[in-house]
Amino acid sequence: MLLDKDLQSVQEVRDLVGRAYEAQKLFEKQGQSRVDAIVKAIADAALKESRRLASFAVEETGYGIAEDKHLKNSFVCEKVAAYITPLRTMGIISEDPVRKIAEIAVPMGVVAAMIPSTNPTSTAIFKCLISLKGGNGIVLSPHPAAARCTVETARICSEAAVAAGAPEGLIGCMTMPTLEATEELMKHKQVAIILATGGAGLVKAAYSSGKPAYGVGPGNVPAYIDRSASIAKAVKDVLTSKTFDNGTVCASEQSLIVDAPVESQVVAELKRLNGFFLTEEESRKLEAFAIQQNGKLNPQIVGKSALWIAQKAGIEVYPDTQALVVPLKGVGSEFPLSCEKLSPILSYYVVDGWRAGCELCKQVLAYGGMGHTLALHCQDPNIIRQFGLEKPAFRIIVNSPATHGAIGLSTALPPSMTLGCGTYGNNITTDNITPLHLIQVKRLASETVEVFPSWMQAGQTSAHPGQASPSDDQLRAAVASLVEAYLAAKGVGLESESLSQANPAAPEKKMGATKEMPTAPENVAPANPELAVQPVDFVCEQDVRSAIQNRQKICISSKAIVTPAARDLASAHDIIVVV
């Protein structure tokens, strides 16, 4: 007798997690170079199959454009892979000889990865790469509408990993995705963390699973074109982003907000680039088709072309129409098309001045896009700064397509297919997710200050009976040795006179200068009124900056400790005097 599909899928998840868990325990013992070789093998194999996987995704889901999905796959296999390659994620990842702290990377374990139907192959490749780079195993949960292309992507990644030396089972993928199986995956005791990419319900379920989770929020992205912008480029950027893969990337522009003085130029450019402006009647037809009675987006329009959507809505447009532009007078439930549309439908607004544009951007973000992304086209640095300070979005893409800028293709942001929205979007991070989010850091910290009870006299602080306490000279020499070791590791030379007084009879020197300075009696102000009266025993960079600002000198004692940063800054400004 055949088992119920839900029971079969739940059992499949348990088997996949069990294999990934055992494989990960072996995998985490491999060194950085071996892990890097396996990750490279996955990226290379996926890149070879990129175009086929892209076509497979469009064929199965009906979403997007094959050539654009190929570009997303290639972006992950090339740019993401190149970015993560030099990252240290295994074993000792940093050592600080001065602070006596060593940091050691520890993998999280098995990653549960939810894969969306809009970007199934690129997201699957991405999550495999960053999970294994961190020394983790991974089990993928495909969207039911994209199960076959996701399973095929996982197979390619897994076979490449095993061929390069990874344990069998390190990458797993559900072949029978069901709600029950996905819940089992997220709550499985051997799953360490969840990477949730999908709708609000899925992300909420991930956060409610009892496991650590990285979720993402919706991206109702506004784009503001200021009067100072390069109009031709701004419009081209907006349409390039909005039409990329038929708008399936959550960072694509959903609303275009135009400064009144340049409206005519923007409209002309939109029409020249095959944007089609809808009349009020056509807008009502589109709304009736694109928005369901419950107020939610009709999933049929997701990833479809502007021409297809217009025909289904009963709107006659030009055959070469690239985007449907819908003039609106407000934002919110009374204006349903002001929501995230995941298709080449662009809401359109006109405002008078950047402050009005600023406020309207906030309203758009508040209607389903808090914390995600905002696009700004402007040449005025003051306005750019104000948008950065005031907007509730954690990726503000300036003079670039929002889609390509947010994922790090056209900007220097960390390249990623998973974009955090911070607390504004109910996420734990604002970052573009990378392998560094999938490791834990263990720290070895050695004693730098000896601690003893208040009732113990200073002369009795030795940890062992009969052991003499270090003298001041010994302590000073120890500190000097630590600082010199640190500077030597950094390739910086240091005059011994600034750290220790091995020869007390030698004349004191001004920091950073060869000219000898006369010594001053203790607690007596130097002749120069700018000099501090009381010599100090420790100087940090902030002390030097304060002295520069107040046009003062800093007097230090012969036992003083000066941090390397403070010393370099002081030398440049002739601030420190030894007394």
Specify the pLDDT at position 458: 52
3-state secondary structure labels for all residues of 70-83 = HHHHHHHHHHHHHH
**What number of other Cβ atoms are within 10 A of residue 470's Cβ?**
14
Token pair for residue 108?
């999280």
Neighbouring residues of 422: CB distance < 8 A, sequence distance ≥ 6:
371, 394, 429, 430
Burial of 430 (0-12, 13-18, 19+ CB in 10 A): middle
The larger pLDDT score, comparing residue 486 to residue 302, is at 302
Catalytic residue of the set 128, 173, 250, 378: 250
Tell me what percent of the residues of the chain surpass a pLDDT of 90.
Answer: 74
What digits encode the pLDDT tens for the residues 96-120?
999 999 999 999 999 999 999 999 9
What digits encode the pLDDT tens for the residues 252-261?
999 999 999 9
Residues 115 and 426: their CA atoms lie apart, in Å, by 19
Residues 539 and 523: their CA atoms lie apart, in Å, by 18
Specify the pLDDT at position 455: 75
Residues 37 and 107: their CA atoms lie apart, in Å, by 17
Domains of the chain: 5-216+436-441 (3.40.605.10), 221-410 (3.40.309.10), 473-578 (no CATH)
Residue with tokens 């600080």: 96
**CA separation (Å) from 169 to 23, 154, 161, 196?**
6, 11, 10, 21
Residue 547 pLDDT level (bands cut at 50, 70, 90): confident
Using alpha carbons, select from 129, 108, 207, 223 the residue that is nearest to residue 171. 129
Specify the pLDDT at position 4: 82
What digits encode the pLDDT tens for the residues 438-493?
999 999 999 998 887 777 755 554 445 555 555 666 666 766 776 676 666 666 55
Burial of 50 (0-12, 13-18, 19+ CB in 10 A): buried
DSSP 467: P
Specify the pLDDT at position 277: 98
Burial of 267 (0-12, 13-18, 19+ CB in 10 A): middle
Residues forming beta bridges with residue 578, ordered by sequence position: 556
Question: Is this prediction's pTM over 0.85?
Answer: no
Q: Catalytic site residue 421?
A: no
Residues 351 and 369: their CA atoms lie apart, in Å, by 20
Show the beta-strand stretches assigned E in 378-510. 393-398, 439-445
Token pair for residue 544?
């030097």
